[in-house]
C-alpha cells in the first residue's frame, strides 16, 4: 500500500532563518506531488506541484521554493523565512498515470515563524 | 472564477444527532467532487467521491449527495460520534485534458459534544 511521510511535524523558526520540509511517498511510482499551505480559517492553497523529477510548477509567487530530487521525494524550502510563512503545510500525492484527481495527504507540518 | 462555498462555517451538535453540511460550486467543466475529513492538526482524508452521473454515495454513516444541475452537494452524517469532530472540506475537480485542477472549500468545522 502507498504511504506518505512528511517531516518535521512541528517547527519553530526565527525570522530570516532557512526552512526545509521533506516529504516522501512509498508504494507508488511517478506520482504527482504537491505542497499546500493551510492558514487558519482559510482553504488549502496550492503552492507547488510536480509531475516528475526536476519539474516544478509554482502557483503563487512567494518566499518559498520546491525541489524534487528523486521520483518520490518532494522538498519545500526557504532561504529566509518571513512571519507570513507561518502556517500548516501539507504534502500530497496523486496518481501520475491514472490520475483521478484524488489527493492523498501527509500528516502536515506546523511552522511557526517568530 | 471557480469557487466552492461551504456552509455552515461551523456547527455544534450533540452526540447521536444527525447533521448535514452543504457545498455549492461554480467549477466548470466539472469532473468530480470529493468530501474530505480533516482532524485537527492532521492531513485531510477522502470520505467520498461523486462523479457527474452519481446522485448519492454512502460510506458508513456518511452519505454524500450531488445535484449537478444546481451544482450543489451535501454530506449527511448519521448518528454522530465524538470522533466525527473535524473539519469537512469539499473539493471540486475540473478536468483539463489530462490534468485536474482542484478548487477547495474553506471547510465546515463540526464539533460533536457528549
H or E stretch at B62: strand B62-67
Note whether A90 contacts B44, CB cutoff 8 Å.
yes
Nearest to B31 among A88, A101, A104 (CB): A101
- Interval A15-37: pLDDT, tens: 999 999 999 999 988 999 999 99
Helix (H, G, I), strand (E, B) or coil at B97: coil
- Report pLDDT digits (tens) over B74-92: 999 999 999 999 999 999 9
Do the chains contact at B104 and A105, CB–CB below 8 Å?
no
Interface subset of B 87-106, CB within 8 angstroms of A: 89, 91, 93, 95, 98-100, 102, 104-106
Mean pLDDT of A69-77: 96
Euclidean distance between the first and the last CA atom of chain B, given in angstroms as a whole number: 41
Instruction: Give chain B positions within 8 Å (CB) of A92.
Output: 43
Amino acid at each position: 500500500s502507498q504511504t506518505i511521510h512528511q517531516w518535521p511535524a512541528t517547527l519553530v523558526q526565527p525570522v530570516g532563518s532557512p526552512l526545509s520540509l521533506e516529504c516522501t511517498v512509498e508504494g507508488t511510482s511517478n506520482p504527482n506531488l504537491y505542497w499546500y499551505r493551510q492558514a487558519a480559517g482559510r482553504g488549502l492553497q496550492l503552492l507547488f506541484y510536480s509531475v516528475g523529477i526536476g519539474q516544478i510548477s509554482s502557483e503563487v509567487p512567494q518566499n518559498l521554493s520546491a525541489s524534487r530530487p528523486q521520483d518520490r521525494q518532494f522538498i519545500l524550502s526557504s532561504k529566509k523565512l518571513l512571519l507570513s510563512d507561518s502556517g500548516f503545510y501539507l504534502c500530497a500525492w496523486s496518481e501520475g498515470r491514472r490520475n483521478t484527481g484524488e489527493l492523498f495527504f501527509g500528516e502536515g507540518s506546523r511552522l511557526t515563524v517568530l | 472564477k471557480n469557487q466552492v462555498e461551504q456552509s455552515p462555517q461551523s456547527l455544534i451538535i450533540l452526540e447521536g444527532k444527525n447533521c448535514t453540511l452543504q457545498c455549492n460550486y461554480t467549477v466548470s467543466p466539472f469532473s468530480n467532487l470529493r468530501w474530505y475529513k480533516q482532524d485537527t492538526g492532521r492531513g485531510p482524508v477522502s470520505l467520498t467521491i461523486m462523479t457527474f452521473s452519481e446522485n448519492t454515495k454512502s460510506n458508513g454513516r456518511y452519505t454524500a449527495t450531488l445535484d449537478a444541475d444546481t451544482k450543489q452537494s451535501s454530506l449527511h452524517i448519521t448518528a454522530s460520534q465524538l470522533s466525527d469532530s473535524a473539519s469537512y472540506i469539499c473539493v471540486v475537480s475540473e478536468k483539463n485534458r489530462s490534468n485536474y485542477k482542484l478548487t477547495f472549500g474553506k471547510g465546515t468545522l463540526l464539533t460533536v459534544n457528549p
